[in-house]
Amino acid sequence: MVAVTPPIEGESLLSLIVRHVELNLLSRPGEVLEEVDIRTATPGFMPFTMRDSTADLARALGCREDEILSRIYRQPTDSRHEAVNFHGALLERRFLEAKVRRVSPQALGVSPHHRAAWMVRALSFCPESGELLIEACQACGCTLGWTRCSAVWRCDRCGFDLRRSTTQVPSRKETAEAIAAARLVDVRSDIRAAELACLPAAFRSWDPGQAFAAIVEFGLASSTSSDARAARNQAVGAGDFSSFTIADLAKGRRFALDWPESLAELAREEYARTGSTSVRRCFGTLSKYFYASTPPSPLRDLIRDAAAAALHEARVPAKLAAAVVKGGSTRTRTISALEVERLGISRRELRRLEGKSSTFVARQTGKGGTTLYDLEAITGLKADLEGSVSLQEAARRLALPAYAFEAILAAKLLCPVSNPDVAVVAAEVRVTQESLNGIIGALEAAPRKDVDCVGLVDGCRRQFHPALWAMILAALLSGRLPISRRNRAGKGVFDSLRVARAPLAELLGELARQPIAPNVWASCRTIAAVFGVPEQVVSAAVRAGLIEGDLLVRTSRVSLASAGAFDRKFVMSDEASELLGCAKPKIWGELTSRGLRPVASVCRHSLWDRQALERLLNS
């Protein structure tokens, strides 16, 4: 009499056959299959290849035919990929093991049957016991198979009791995460549905098997070993999951739970590691889903849809491939270059953001591609540009030399625009309108005092120290330097101020004791205005080596320290005229008649020795 073998829930088809072999004292599965006219040299492939004889096999095993059919993994007729129906979950064929018999010693001790979950190659552990699966006998070292197997719990080569094998039990935290992911391929539909409902909304409409495959891909992408990541990805793609660990599966589930923020974090890490702006390198192993040869899948569409937003969130200025431009997803919180131009920011100014600012989001490649920018950042940039002025404009309104603003900004008397994009687009430092108007308003509202006064510009003539105007501005705002009155309406603020003579002289005395830094420069035009001579005179002095400076085709600069030393050594005709109190044309005759000769001549301007002139005036 043939012993009947009732199926156990979650049992694989080969396990059902082998238990029938064991109960009826047969030697191998082939003897059962030959009875129903199924001839195969590799019984392990039978669940994937069997199409007929299911009724005969059910009669031979003493079970219902539907219990056999539920354990046959057929490919759906509407599937375009190599996928099979694994107990209700759609899994790619590469995920399932056919030849090797993988077992859990502890689970076999509870019930000596082979669980269908052990066929899933991405599960290196038993979801029931939590221990790692073994696939080789610890006594003889041979790989466990199905062809000669007469009992699930026994080695088919040496007969060793596999329940006596020892194996490693991973950490509880990682195992808990991995077991949760394994529920997506559980044989029970309610368990699969419950786990699928725990994932973000983007995955809930998927087949549980597709969600499990996505978690595996996420686990590979989250691997910390970037060097081995590509090789592991290639091996897993070919069905070799030997390097895929419980930790990888746990990371993949956490990646899915954190979607889509996890994709942005991956892009941020990859950009920091590679520095590449190619979208095909910004997502690690997930970048393969941007290739045209990648077959359609829910995961491919999900990644492509979320790519632009992830790059935007990660502040990665990637160039988007056409595969990412799908359904307008790239326009999430972005604005095109053409739309930015309509806001008054030119295309030339925008190009300066590329490679220098995270405001530049992406450039779509291909014909008709467009450049995208962060909408919020561009809106803020426009507002900051409109609410600020250049240093040249501030210098004009205050009637100050441009070199004075470095010290003024350092003293925090004016506020530079905090948005770094403003300096990139404008190619210069800009200050806020609010701080500039605040200074002008404070000077206009300052109380006037009836004291011995002097014009501020006249009193500071021939002063080269870069901190001069910052010190004077601070003194004006604090009241240390009283304002007498304003005159010459319509000029710059400092041009029109008259201040108390004695406090100004005190400030200049303090400043004279401070050396001028050698690395502070000003234009020839600015120095010429301080000297009260044409710009060509200063340029000629630089060419003659009397003043340190650089004369270029478009720009020129003069060292303030060198200009100050020049002023302390030489007197020009304009200043000599003021000191002697005579007309400029008579200076030559007046000084030569007193025995003083010019020491040099620059651009038809005589230079007189200052010390000799001062001795002459004091005699």
Which tens digits make up the pLDDT trace of 346-372? 888 888 887 677 676 665 544 445 677
* pLDDT bucket at 250, cuts 50 / 70 / 90: very high
Which tens digits make up the pLDDT trace of 31-53? 888 887 777 767 888 888 777 77
Q: How far apart are CA 168 and CA 464, in angstroms?
A: 79
Of 520, 526, 563, whose CA–CA distance to 541 is shortest?
563
Once rounded to an integer, what is the mean pLDDT over residues 126-145?
94
Which DSSP string do the residues of 73-135 spell out, in sequence order?
A: -PPPTT-SSSEEEETTEEEEGGGB-SSS--B-HHHHHH--S-BGGGGBTT--B-TTT-SBPB-
* pLDDT bucket at 318, cuts 50 / 70 / 90: low
* pLDDT bucket at 500, cuts 50 / 70 / 90: confident
Q: What is the pTM of this model?
A: 0.59
So where are the chain's domains? 13-169, 260-386, 389-512, 521-618
Q: How far apart are CA 263 and CA 286, in angstroms?
A: 9
Q: Are 103 and 81 spatial neighbours (Cβ–Cβ below 8 Å)? A: no
What is the structure's pLDDT at 140? Answer: 95
What are the beta bridge partners of residue 571? Answer: 608
What is the structure's pLDDT at 56? Answer: 85
User: CA-CA-CA-CA torsion for 64, 68, 69, 73, nearest 10 degrees?
Assistant: 170
What is the structure's pLDDT at 365? Answer: 46
- Lowest mean pLDDT segment, chosen from 118-127, 150-159, 369-378: 369-378
* pLDDT bucket at 325, cuts 50 / 70 / 90: very low
- Asked whether the bond before 6 is cis by omega within 30 degrees of 0, the reply is no
Alpha-carbon Rg for the chain, nearest whole angstrom, is 43
What is the structure's pLDDT at 609? Answer: 87
Most confident of 125-129, 332-336, 400-404: 125-129
| CA 68 to chain CA mean position, Å | 53
Q: Most distant CA pair in the chain: distance in Å?
A: 147
Give me the residue label for tokens 């320290």. Answer: 561
What is the structure's pLDDT at 612? Answer: 86
What is the structure's pLDDT at 489? Answer: 53
Of 134, 133, 136, whose CA–CA distance to 144 is shortest?
136
What is the structure's pLDDT at 324? Answer: 54
CA distances from 80 to 92, 150, 297, 299 (A): 11, 38, 10, 15
Taking all residues of the chain, what is their mean pLDDT, rounded to a whole number? 83
* pLDDT bucket at 332, cuts 50 / 70 / 90: low
Which tens digits make up the pLDDT trace of 193-218? 999 999 999 999 999 999 999 999 99
Q: How far apart are CA 503 and CA 482, in angstroms?
A: 8
Q: How far apart are CA 426 and CA 385, in angstroms?
A: 8
* pLDDT bucket at 559, cuts 50 / 70 / 90: confident
Residue 227 buriedness (CB in 10 A; 0-12 / 13-18 / 19+): exposed
Share of the chain above pLDDT 70, in %: 90
| CA 163 to chain CA mean position, Å | 51
- Upper half-sphere CA count for residue 357 (Cβ side, 13 Å): 21
What is the structure's pLDDT at 329? Answer: 44
What is the structure's pLDDT at 574? Answer: 76
Q: Are 373 and 337 spatial neighbours (Cβ–Cβ below 8 Å)? A: yes
Which DSSP string do the residues of 353-372 spell out, in sequence order?
A: TTTT-TTEEEEE-STT--EE
Which DSSP string do the residues of 412-448 spell out, in sequence order?
A: TSSPBPS-HHHHHHHTS-EEEHHHHHHHHHHHHHSPB
Q: Which residue has the higher pLDDT, 359 or 251?
A: 251
Share of the chain above pLDDT 90, in %: 28
